Amino acid sequence: MASETSLSVVIPVMNEEDSIGKLITEIHSALNEYPRFEIVIVDDGSSDQTLAMALATAKSLECPIQTIRHERNAGQSCAVKTGVRYARGDLIVTIDGDGQNDPADIPAMLRRAETIGADDFCIAGYRKNRKDTPWKCFQSRLANRVRNALLHDGVPDTGCGLKVLPRETFLKLPWFNHGHRFIPALVKATGGLVDVVEVNHRHREQGISKYSAWNRAWVGIVDLMGVMWLIRRMPVIRISEPHDAGQS
C-alpha cells in the first residue's frame, strides 16, 4: 500500500520549548495547500518540555506529527538522519528548530523541486541577508568560500537548515557527524542536481545557539578534509540502457 504521506518536514531540536510551538504553527499554515504532509520532530536529548509543547501544538492544529527522542544528545546531523529514517514522505524538508528559518519559504522551494527532472537532487536555502552577529556572519562567509572552493558544490550557504530533497536521495548518502552541512556536496557527488533558492532569515527570539566559534571552526576543518577524501572515492554510476530480459 502506498504511503498517504507525500511530504515530511524533519525538525531536529534540543531545548527549544519556547520556539517549537510557533514553528509548528507556521509550518502548518505554510503547507495548507499540501494536505499530505507530516511533521517529524527529533528531540536530541532535551532537558525541557520541547516534545510536550510540540505534541500539544500539533494536537490543537490537528496536524500530523511524529516525535522521536534520542536518549542522549547525539548532534544535529544524527537527529536529521533519525528523522529521515522515520519519515513517511517521499520528499523531505529539513528545517532548524530555533525559528530562524522561515517556513513561509518552503512552498517556493517545493515548486522549484517540481521543475527538476532528476531522481536525485537537493534544493538548498540561501540566507542572503542573515540576522546574526557580524562576527558570526563573517565566520560563515569565510567558511562557505573555503568549502565551495574545495568542494565546488555551488552553494553559497550550506549551513542553512532549509533544504528539500527526496528521501531516497538522502538515504543514499554516506553519513557522519556534521554531515548535514555537506548535503549539497554529497548529493552532487552521487550524480544528483543541486539548486539554490534565496530564503528569509530571522533573529533568534528564544533560546541560545548550540554552536560556538571554536566548535564550528575546528570540526569544520576536520570534516572538510574528510568530505574531500570521501567524494574522491564515490563512484557515480549511470545506467545508460536498462533491459528487462523477461519482456519480449
3-class SS string, 175-211: CCCCHHHHHHHHHHHCCCEEEEEECCECCCCCCCCCC
Candidates 213, 209, 123; CA nearest to 165 is 123
Query: Which residue in the block uniquely carries the three cell numbers 558544490?
Result: 153
CATH architecture label of 7-232: Alpha-Beta Complex (3.90)
Residue 163 vs residue 150, higher pLDDT: 163
CB-based contact 69:41 (threshold 8 Å)? no
**CB count in 10 Å sphere of residue 158:** 22
125-141 pLDDT, tens digit each: 998 877 666 656 666 66
- What is the C-alpha separation between 221 and 205, in angstroms, rounded? 30
Grid cell digits, residue 139: 565566520
Q: Is the pLDDT of residue 218 over 60?
A: no
**pLDDT band at residue 248 using 50, 70 and 90 as cut-offs:** very low
Beta pairing, strands 193-198 & 121-126: parallel
Domain ranges, ordered by start, for the chain: 7-232
The secondary structure element, H or E, covering residue 142 is helix 134-151
- Write the burial class of residue 114 (CB in 10 Å: 0-12 exposed, 13-18 middle, 19+ buried): exposed
Q: Is the pLDDT of residue 197 over 80?
A: yes
CB-based contact 42:13 (threshold 8 Å)? yes
Q: Is the pLDDT of residue 208 over 70?
A: no
SS3 label, residue 31: coil
Residue 95 vs residue 240, higher pLDDT: 95
Of 53-67, 144-158, 164-178, least confident by mean pLDDT is 144-158
